């Protein structure tokens, strides 16, 4: 049975933000601080399915205190970006991949799956309506945040029978305030992010709530970000708070580019996946493997690991300059941004901003 196409009701804002104010925001958007004029909402009800799809003015939600999400956290989200292209059009990077991951997250949280085409259409509608909000400078973009939460009211612990799907959008400059500066990381041995059988590979709100205490510990250790280790042996490197990790072994054309393999406890990042392919296109050997903290420390000491970087939608590619754990600290390479890290970063951004050929058909034009 094919899903009937959902019709969106369009209710544009009577008073969008004045152009001068919007331009002032776009001149220095930061990350996640400002939101565009509109949002998309779609409701789901048991027995009825998806209904009441609307594009409407961005506005606060009214919520019952017994809304199930507030108590039991049936809440998932996505993050993807729309980029201004050289001809002034706008294109979204791999929305189909985000739509499919959103479905997998929904399954894990016992929530209904939004059809891929509806997810993409909701993003397209919002970006089209708020096109003026897509920055045109450098690597700046419009960050899209699709999300879904339980909207049933009640305190019984079970999957809700009503959900709300939404998309909001926020102009994005650099995720880290320092721009492309190497970050320092704290290897968390006390706290774990995800254990086998848990929700580690779902993009659900609870994973982020559970990570905050470790992020605070990283900050107390003088580090920018936390690196998660596996929950069982606490020695395999998994990922960062909102990014996947890559390790560069060797130098130049002979470099090997390795990322922790997907074990079910880390998020299958779309940037991670894209870089595996871009790195291979550039002629590098790539590998998905398990890497221990000892291998990292040893690889830095003997020079076999030359660069480490983090990657994700919000932060693009960010070099890792220093690592620290309860058992010591070490500098990665010369502590600066590595050559291959920056080459990959440039290559990915060139595809996203339309400066390079889209060999894999990743850009979704509006
Ligand atoms: N890991 C976590 C925990 C994340 O929150 C993110 C961000 O979405 C990533 C990795 C990177 O994923 P993506 O490249 O799809 O943005
Ligand atoms: C993203 O890169 O989209 C993320 O989700 C990272 C963070 C903002 C949660």
Is the CB of 312 within 6 Å of ligand 1? yes
Query: What is the DSSP code (8-state) at residue 259?
Result: E
Angle at 232 between CA 227 and CA 235, to 5 degrees: 45
Gap between the Cα atoms of 292 and 122, Å rounded: 41
pLDDT at residue 179, as a whole number: 64
Tokens of 94: 């791999």
pLDDT tens profile 306-358 = 999 999 998 899 999 999 999 899 999 888 999 999 999 999 999 999 999 99
Ligand in nearest proximity to the CA of 312: 1
Q: What is the average pLDDT across 273-281?
A: 97
Q: How many CA atoms lie within 13 A of 63 on its CB side?
A: 17
pLDDT at residue 173, as a whole number: 87
Q: Which residue's C-alpha comes closest to atom 4 of ligand 1?
A: 242
Choice among 2-11, 72-81, 286-295 with the minimum mean pLDDT: 2-11
Is the CB of 173 within 6 Å of ligand 2? no
Is the CB of 313 within 6 Å of ligand 2? yes
pLDDT tens profile 159-185 = 999 999 999 999 998 766 666 889 999
Q: 248 — alpha (psi -120 to 50), left (phi > 0) or beta?
A: beta
pLDDT at residue 334, as a whole number: 87
Asked if pLDDT for residue 1 goes beyond 60, the answer is no
The strand pair at 305-312 and 244-249 is best described as: antiparallel
Asked if pLDDT for residue 108 goes beyond 60, the answer is yes
Distance from the CA of 242 to the center of ligand 1, in angstroms?
Answer: 5
Report the atom number in ligand 2 closest to the C-alpha of 79.
3
Is the CB of 312 within 6 Å of ligand 2? yes
Q: Which residue's C-alpha comes closest to atom 7 of ligand 2?
A: 242
pLDDT at residue 259, as a whole number: 98
pLDDT tens profile 72-93 = 999 999 999 999 999 999 999 9
Asked if pLDDT for residue 3 goes beyond 80, the answer is no
| % residues pLDDT > 70 (the chain) | 97
Mean pLDDT, the chain, rounded, equals 95
Report the atom number in ligand 2 closest to the C-alpha of 313.
2
């Amino acid at each position: 049975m094919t899903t009937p196409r959902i019709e969106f009701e369009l209710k544009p804002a009577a008073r969008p933000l004045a152009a001068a104010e919007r331009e002032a925001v776009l001149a220095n958007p930061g990350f996640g601080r400002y939101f565009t004029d509109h949002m998309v909402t779609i409701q789901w009800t048991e027995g009825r399915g998806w209904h009441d799809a609307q594009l409407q003015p961005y506005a606060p939600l009214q919520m019952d205190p017994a809304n199930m999400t507030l108590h039991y956290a049936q809440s998932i989200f996505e993050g993807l970006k729309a980029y201004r292209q050289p001809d002034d059009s706008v294109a979204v990077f791999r929305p189909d991949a985000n739509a499919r991951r959103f479905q997998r997250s929904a399954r894990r949280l016992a929530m209904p799956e939004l059809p891929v085409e509806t997810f993409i259409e909701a993003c397209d509608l919002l970006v089209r309506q708020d096109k003026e909000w897509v920055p045109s400078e450098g690597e700046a973009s419009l960050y899209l945040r699709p999300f879904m939460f339980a909207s049933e009211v009640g305190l019984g612990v079970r999957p809700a029978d009503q959900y709300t799907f939404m998309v909001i959008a926020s102009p994005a400059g650099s995720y880290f305030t320092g721009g492309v500066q190497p970050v320092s990381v704290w290897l968390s041995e006390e706290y774990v992010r995800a254990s086998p059988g848990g929700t580690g590979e779902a993009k659900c709100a609870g994973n982020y709530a559970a990570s905050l205490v470790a992020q605070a510990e990283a900050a107390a250790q003088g580090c920018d970000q936390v690196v998660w280790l596996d929950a069982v042996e606490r020695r395999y490197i998994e990922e960062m708070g909102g990014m996947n990790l890559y390790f560069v072994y060797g130098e130049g054309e002979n470099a090997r580019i390795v990322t922790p393999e997907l074990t079910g406890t880390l998020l299958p990042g779309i940037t991670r996946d894209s870089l595996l392919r871009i790195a291979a296109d550039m002629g590098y050997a790539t590998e998905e493997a398990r890497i221990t903290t000892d291998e990292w420390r040893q690889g830095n000491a003997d020079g076999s690991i030359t660069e480490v970087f983090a990657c994700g939608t919000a932060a693009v590619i960010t070099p890792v300059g220093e690592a620290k754990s309860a058992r010591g600290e070490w500098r990665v390479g010369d502590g600066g941004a590595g050559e291959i890290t920056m080459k990959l970063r440039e290559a990915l951004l060139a595809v996203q901003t339309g400066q390079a050929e889209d060999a894999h058909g990743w850009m979704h034009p509006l």
